[in-house]
Amino acid sequence: MEGMLLGIVLVISLLGLFTAFLLARWILSKSTGSEAMQKISNAIKEGAEAFLRTQNRTIILLAAAFAAILFIGYGVVRGHKEFDPVGAMQLAGWITVSFISGAVCSMIAGYVGMWVSIRANIRTATAAMTSLNDALRIALRGGAVSGLLVVSLSLLGVGGLYAMVSLISDIDPTKIPLLIVGYGFGASFVALFAQLGGGIYTKAADVGADLVGKVEAGIPEDDPRNPAVIADLVGDNVGDCAGRGADLFESTAAENIGAMILGASLASLADKTPGMGFSMGVIGVMMFPLVARAFGIIASIVGIVMVKMDKEEKIDPMQALNRGYYIAVVLAMIGFGFCTRWLLHSPGAPNAWLYFYACGVIGVLTSVAFVFITQYYTEYKYRPVKSIANASVTGPATNIIAGVGVGLECVAVPVLVMGAALLSSYYLGKSSGLPAAGLFGTAVATMGMLSTAAFILAMDTFGPITDNAGGIVEMSEQPESVRVKTDRLDAVGNTTKALTKGYAIGSAALAAFLLFQAYMDEVRQYAGLAADHPFPVDLSKPVVFVGGLIGAGLVFLFSAFAIRAVGSAAEAIIAEVRRQYKDLKRENDMIIFPKDFKPDYGACVDIVTKAALRKMVTPGLLAVLTPIVVGILFRVFKDEANPLIAAEAVAGLLMVGTIVGIVMALFLNNSGGAWDNAKKFIETGALGGKYLTVNGKKIKNPTHGAAVVGDTVGDPFKDTAGPSLHVLIKLLSTITLVLAPLFI
Amino acid sequence: MEGMLLGIVLVISLLGLFTAFLLARWILSKSTGSEAMQKISNAIKEGAEAFLRTQNRTIILLAAAFAAILFIGYGVVRGHKEFDPVGAMQLAGWITVSFISGAVCSMIAGYVGMWVSIRANIRTATAAMTSLNDALRIALRGGAVSGLLVVSLSLLGVGGLYAMVSLISDIDPTKIPLLIVGYGFGASFVALFAQLGGGIYTKAADVGADLVGKVEAGIPEDDPRNPAVIADLVGDNVGDCAGRGADLFESTAAENIGAMILGASLASLADKTPGMGFSMGVIGVMMFPLVARAFGIIASIVGIVMVKMDKEEKIDPMQALNRGYYIAVVLAMIGFGFCTRWLLHSPGAPNAWLYFYACGVIGVLTSVAFVFITQYYTEYKYRPVKSIANASVTGPATNIIAGVGVGLECVAVPVLVMGAALLSSYYLGKSSGLPAAGLFGTAVATMGMLSTAAFILAMDTFGPITDNAGGIVEMSEQPESVRVKTDRLDAVGNTTKALTKGYAIGSAALAAFLLFQAYMDEVRQYAGLAADHPFPVDLSKPVVFVGGLIGAGLVFLFSAFAIRAVGSAAEAIIAEVRRQYKDLKRENDMIIFPKDFKPDYGACVDIVTKAALRKMVTPGLLAVLTPIVVGILFRVFKDEANPLIAAEAVAGLLMVGTIVGIVMALFLNNSGGAWDNAKKFIETGALGGKYLTVNGKKIKNPTHGAAVVGDTVGDPFKDTAGPSLHVLIKLLSTITLVLAPLFI
């Protein structure tokens, strides 16, 4: 039984990796176009690879130090405790090995995914010269390599570690997830730094390029005369592609392990209730998350391969992507139903699997709801973005006030949707007829939501590939007809990037609830309490309340560091570009470029690489160390009545931190997206467009200038701090999962 | 015993009111200066009084509707329940009467306080023509009228209601606070709308006046040629003076009642433990908050009267205020020590009163810490404000990014200070030797912090009085030497306003913790549980977690409404001013005003009055209705294991809402203050100052322009949304206190 299920999981994840390999080979076989295009693409490639290599070196150093601390902390300082599943050294060994595996797999997935993306961009650009359909497919399949790598590798890691522990040691299989929780933490650790470093890089370059390029010099985006433009294009890859990949890698890894822990304790309880045991036993329930995810990979592969446009290329590329997505969703839901019936069936509660299946459907519906809400708040068809654009008429200050207003407002509906999803899946689980199955219901909802993660991630990485393709076409001065094609793809890419962020925060919220239930379960196990022993996280206790306060403060301080890093790095870029432009002539406030003007791209790439690496360390360490310090220091408050008070305070920190992190991320992502599109709306010609003609002279439209200020402020919100908060939320969960024994 | 203590409380509050009357008469006896000054002062007076009258009419309507709902809800819909202290109609009657009393007293305090302030401003301006010392004293005593009215009236209300209930009915005195909790809610209800309406008014006028006046037309602040300038001066009174007064009125009222509830349950528990009873009995402990506050009023009066400058007026006016404040603090602490020894002494734990006294000292130290932290983040001597000023060199976008960074960062240290204050006072109380006295320790810390509230409020209202005095001097074109004097006072007023905000948020945080302990106590009482029966607020239950999520979402949505209201009202003002300026000539982007230019002030006052009243209703109702809806709807989740789940979910909403509200208010207040002072820093001549000379021409300095954008964005943050959040936090506590029985 165990062997067969593990076999299915491992074979399907290898299949996913093999498919990624085939897709990559298919992409690399495509034409790379003219020399001019290659020159630009190579510059992007060099910059991106150099940054990722340097970044990974820093991360490896930090991770190695942390692995050593973990090993010593568990093996030597803490020593063996009564309820540990294995001896101290063995516990320390497995936790450290799984941490390192998680970190290494995440880095590999990120690096290889980006390696393919920065090769797919020029091929997309070249294909766009002949066929939009070919360009679309190259870009999506380039993204799919990332998507499949991330999801398959995370599944392979969890499955493989489980198999290793099961082969080498002979402990109770339901305890194995406790030994491999380090995998999720390793993945979060890498994701945090990757997202922070990449996010700072991409937005410092973008803000710098925009402010001097568009606003001061009056040249278009991606103009080759802007010295910061290559850094900007590199940023799309290291931020959106490598960063988001690491983010979703850890989501799926952590959620798999968390759901296994919850599943094991649910099934053990059911087994103890006469007649309630599951048909496929405890192992079946525990393996359910992995098997369901494996079926999701197959569904995503089919969906990706099915994406194509009709011969005349009349349909919207978004429509083609949506068709593929719907295919993937339907297939995933069929597979999910099959898995629930197979592995979650209990003769004592014959309809229980149907209730769980309904939870999975709720998860999918929640992700759809998040996508629609994100669209409403960030697309210029709707009121919010229009109100920002209108406020730009009275200048940058009212533009900012309106944008902040929209960002703060957009939190309300997602909060209600999340609440409804949590409560309905909880009560569905509870009504299933099985004992204490409510929390497992919320876990199944999360699995439903994440079942098409590979497809979503493919659409996300599609964004930077098409963005880069557009940049290459623009900079190599291709004919207008080609630009029109890449612009169409680029617009779709912007939409998919925004949607993925909605999806990522929704899944982070559901996954977080699952993960902190797993944390509480783990605390109970290590403290020798029964799985149904009450362990409330009582916010009315001063110590727990203070834990919650610290969690809220952490989210704010972390965001401050992320945003400020972008601000100061951008200022350095602006100073550099101004230096390069200093001696050029101006007319009507716009620069007149000499024909032979050659900007120094390398200087900007260097500045931003160094700044991003330097600035990612403080917020990263802050996030990692805060829960540890609280958990260890607050042990002084232990007394007879509250032996677990430190673990409880950490839970308070975790839960309040998660709530604040979610609403803050929604605020940052959506206000940023709304500002961006308010500017784009004006650039379509609304409210005067980019330029006005006054007394026969072409002058910059101040309304557009105000909107650019908002767009710029939104950049670090939506692409640095916001996405980093997704990772922070999950890091808090995984770090507490791994270190729970130290807080007891 | 009870009679004597009540007598002390009532006599001292009447003494406070009489002192306020004497101070007001003293102020009114001063000279009102020239006709030109009177004309301006009268315009302010008319605008402010008209607004407050209209606003109060709206609030009275809303409050009357709410009082009816309260009465029907308690008297008819709910009916009598087993553990109610009195019959249904009597319970409904007292709660409604106390709600109305709280609302009426708050309105009276706000109206009379502002009535005096808008008469003190011109007298301060006139006095400044001869003596800075006189001007300082008039402004401070004008503020003191507000301060004394607010604190004395809130004490008189609670004491008077207690006396009434005690005379009319014959219930157990320790249950009386449960009947008069409505007083705090009535006060919060009025405070919420007063702060929202006033906050929207003041900042819409300010933003509108600044954006067209300073930035577009290039005229100084308070310039009579700006049509929005009278509305701006009116705003200082209705926002800072009436709004903040209502805010602190409810702080002291709610905190008094909450501390009485906690004191009663502590003393009852102690009485049941042999040998642990208090020397002055349960009544003594319960009355302690009122008596301690009464001594605080005397201390504040002495401090206020002692404020004066030396003959040569060489010392800084701030120094004179500080001297008075220190006198008040020392006296209050002596009185506080006397009260603790007198009323909190227990023969069984002879040192307990010393522990409680130490808690009081912690409260005072916390308020001092908050004052210093606020200074660090908002004064231009220090790094944060300087970093914003430097970021302005690269334009408004980097200015905004830097300011948001500072605002998000400034949350961290206050969070740690609050955490330390809560935990240390909790553990001091716990170590006092009395049973379950930890929470009472945190309550005593709050009382310590609020003991000098009257003095703090006097300093706060000093701000708008000196601001208005400066405006009157500027607009009536007095000689430079007078302006120098009022500028000195105005600068001090800006500092005291910022400090009070730090104080207000610190006290809101401590008071909130006290209030939700009172809520939990009340839920236990109405549910018939013993005072030490566990009633955890378990955030790991999905229903409670969702309550917490909704609390966080509420804070964001409420802030969105407040900020957006300012944005849209300001846009209307800008359009109006632009209309009035449309036909004027410009040179170098600056308007050349004809000598006979007469702006239409009334049009701007009208626009902003209507907008503020219209826009305050939605956020106000949102705040009031959300906890009620959650508490009533979530009763569907009640089951055998969780009979109090709805009350618990409301507690989750309340606590997470409070945490998020505190950090959000800190973010909004301090980022706004920092932006304001970054602009002021540049106006002192830093980074080029206001104007640059290029090729012999005087042009506006773009760095200053960027800083003005930040200042403008910060306006609704620091004076509308931030202070409204203080009220929201306390409203959540008082509304749940009043409606707790409905959630059971």
pLDDT digit string (tens) for B299-349?
999 999 998 887 767 788 888 888 999 999 999 999 999 999 999 998 888
| Contact status, residue B549 vs residue A419, Cβ threshold 8 Å | yes
**What's at A154, amino acid-wise?**
S
pLDDT value for A215? 67
Residue of B nearest to A711 (CA): B397
B638 chain-A contacts, CB cut-off 8 A: none
B411 chain-A contacts, CB cut-off 8 A: 552-553, 556-557
User: What's the average model confidence in pLDDT over B528-541?
Assistant: 86
What is the Cα–Cα distance from A522 to A508, expressed in whole angstroms? 20
Instruction: Find the helix or strand (DSSP H, E) in which B603 lies.
Output: helix B601-633
pLDDT digit string (tens) for A92-137?
999 999 999 999 999 998 898 889 999 999 999 999 998 888 999 9
Interchain pair B415, A442: CB under 8 A: no
Q: Is the dihedral of CA B295, B297, B300, B301 positive or negative?
A: negative
pLDDT digit string (tens) for A502-519?
888 888 888 888 888 889
pLDDT value for A14? 96
Percent of chain B whose pLDDT exceeds 70: 99
B586 conformational bin, left if phi > 0, alpha if psi -120 to 50, beta if neither = beta
Token pair for A368: 């759809």
Strands (E), B331-476: none
Which band of pLDDT confidence, cut at 50, 70 and 90, is reported for residue A238?
confident
Which of A362, A444, A545 should we substitute to test contact with B (largest number of B Cβ atoms within 10 Å)? Answer: A545
- DSSP assigned state of B537: -
Q: Is B92 exposed, middle or buried (0-12, 13-18, 19+ CB in 10 A)?
A: buried
Residue predicted with more confidence, A411 or B247: A411
pLDDT value for A313? 73
pLDDT value for A584? 83
**Farthest CA pair distance, chain A:** 89
User: What's the average model confidence in pLDDT over B660-673?
Assistant: 95
**Interface residue A581 vs chain B (CB under 8 A):** no
Interchain pair A408, B559: CB under 8 A: yes
A-facing residues of B in 393-412 (CB < 8 A) are: 394-398, 400-402, 404-409, 411-412
Q: Are strands A590-592 and A585-587 parallel, antiparallel or unpaired?
A: antiparallel
ipTM of this complex: 0.93
A539 min Cα distance to partner chain B (Å)? 5
User: What's the average model confidence in pLDDT over B283-303?
Assistant: 92
pLDDT digit string (tens) for B178-213?
889 899 999 999 999 999 999 999 999 988 888 777
Residue B285 has pLDDT above 80, yes or no: yes
Q: Any idea which residue has 């290889």 for tokens? A: A112
B574 chain-A contacts, CB cut-off 8 A: 394, 398
A634 chain-B contacts, CB cut-off 8 A: none
**Interface residue A699 vs chain B (CB under 8 A):** no
Q: Within 10 Å of residue A586's Cβ, how many Cβ atoms?
A: 12
A345 min Cα distance to partner chain B (Å)? 25
User: What's the average model confidence in pLDDT over B81-105?
Assistant: 89
pLDDT value for B105? 93
Q: Would you say how long chain A is, in residues?
A: 744
pLDDT value for A589? 67
B395 chain-A contacts, CB cut-off 8 A: 211, 215, 709
Residue B697 has pLDDT above 70, yes or no: yes
pLDDT digit string (tens) for B223-237?
888 888 888 888 888
Residue A413 has pLDDT above 90, yes or no: yes
| CA distance to A115, A379, A470, per residue, from A466 (Å) | 15, 19, 6
Which band of pLDDT confidence, cut at 50, 70 and 90, is reported for residue B19?
very high
Which band of pLDDT confidence, cut at 50, 70 and 90, is reported for residue B215?
low
**Interface residue B271 vs chain A (CB under 8 A):** no
Which band of pLDDT confidence, cut at 50, 70 and 90, is reported for residue A603?
confident
B-facing residues of A in 626-655 (CB < 8 A) are: 637, 651-652, 655
Which of A399, A515, A659, A715 should we substitute to test contact with B (largest number of B Cβ atoms within 10 Å)? Answer: A659
Interchain pair B550, A422: CB under 8 A: no
| Contact status, residue A70 vs residue A210, Cβ threshold 8 Å | no
Which band of pLDDT confidence, cut at 50, 70 and 90, is reported for residue A83?
confident
Residue A587 has pLDDT above 80, yes or no: no
Interchain pair A537, B539: CB under 8 A: yes
Residue of A nearest to B661 (CA): A552
Q: Is B268 exposed, middle or buried (0-12, 13-18, 19+ CB in 10 A)?
A: middle
Which band of pLDDT confidence, cut at 50, 70 and 90, is reported for residue B618?
very high
User: What's the average model confidence in pLDDT over A73-78?
Assistant: 85
Interchain pair A411, B556: CB under 8 A: yes
User: Could you say which of B404, B517, B548 has the minimum Cβ distance to residue A540?
Assistant: B517
pLDDT value for B587? 75
Which of A206, A212, A394, A541 should we substitute to test contact with B (largest number of B Cβ atoms within 10 Å)? Answer: A394
Q: Are strands A691-694 and A697-700 parallel, antiparallel or unpaired?
A: antiparallel
A722 min Cα distance to partner chain B (Å)? 13
The mean pLDDT value of chain B amounts to 89
B420 min Cα distance to partner chain A (Å)? 8
A412 chain-B contacts, CB cut-off 8 A: 553, 556-557
The mean pLDDT value of chain A amounts to 89
A545 chain-B contacts, CB cut-off 8 A: 422, 513, 655, 659
- How many Cβ pairs within 8 Å bridge chains A and B? 256
Which band of pLDDT confidence, cut at 50, 70 and 90, is reported for residue B139?
very high
User: Could you say which of B391, B536, B563 has the minimum Cβ distance to residue A401?
Assistant: B563
B456 min Cα distance to partner chain A (Å)? 26
pLDDT value for A426? 94
Residue of B nearest to A422 (CA): B542
pLDDT value for A501? 84
Residue A385 has pLDDT above 70, yes or no: yes
**What's at B356, amino acid-wise?**
F
Closest CA to B397 of B710, B689, B714: B710
Q: Which residues contact A81 (CB under 8 A, 6 or more apart)?
A: A526, A741, A744
pLDDT value for B404? 96
Token pair for A122: 């020029």
Interchain pair A709, B438: CB under 8 A: no
**Interface residue B531 vs chain A (CB under 8 A):** no
**Interface residue A579 vs chain B (CB under 8 A):** no
pLDDT value for A715? 92
Interchain pair A397, B211: CB under 8 A: yes
Residue A273 has pLDDT above 90, yes or no: no
Interchain pair A548, B656: CB under 8 A: yes
Which of A383, A514, A540 should we substitute to test contact with B (largest number of B Cβ atoms within 10 Å)? Answer: A540
Instruction: Find the helix or strand (DSSP H, E) in which B535 lies.
Output: none
User: What's the average model confidence in pLDDT over B424-437?
Assistant: 90
- DSSP assigned state of B346: B
Strands (E), A204-319: none
**Interface residue A438 vs chain B (CB under 8 A):** yes
Q: Would you say how long chain B is, in residues?
A: 744
User: Could you say which of A416, A517, A545 has the minimum Cβ distance to residue B422?
Assistant: A545
User: Could you say which of B396, B408, B416 has the minimum Cβ distance to residue A563?
Assistant: B408
Closest CA to B441 of B334, B521, B360: B360
Which band of pLDDT confidence, cut at 50, 70 and 90, is reported for residue B589?
low
**Interface residue B29 vs chain A (CB under 8 A):** no
User: Could you say which of A442, A637, A663 has the minimum Cβ distance to residue B553?
Assistant: A663
Residue B166 has pLDDT above 70, yes or no: yes
pLDDT digit string (tens) for A123-179?
999 999 988 889 999 999 999 999 999 999 999 999 999 999 989 888 888 888 888
Interchain pair B709, A574: CB under 8 A: no
pLDDT value for B315? 80
Residue B485 has pLDDT above 90, yes or no: no
What is the Cα–Cα distance from B717 to B5, expressed in whole angstroms? 43
Residue predicted with more confidence, B77 or B556: B556
pLDDT value for B640? 85
User: What's the average model confidence in pLDDT over B594-623?
Assistant: 88
Which of A400, A428, A576, A694 should we substitute to test contact with B (largest number of B Cβ atoms within 10 Å)? Answer: A400
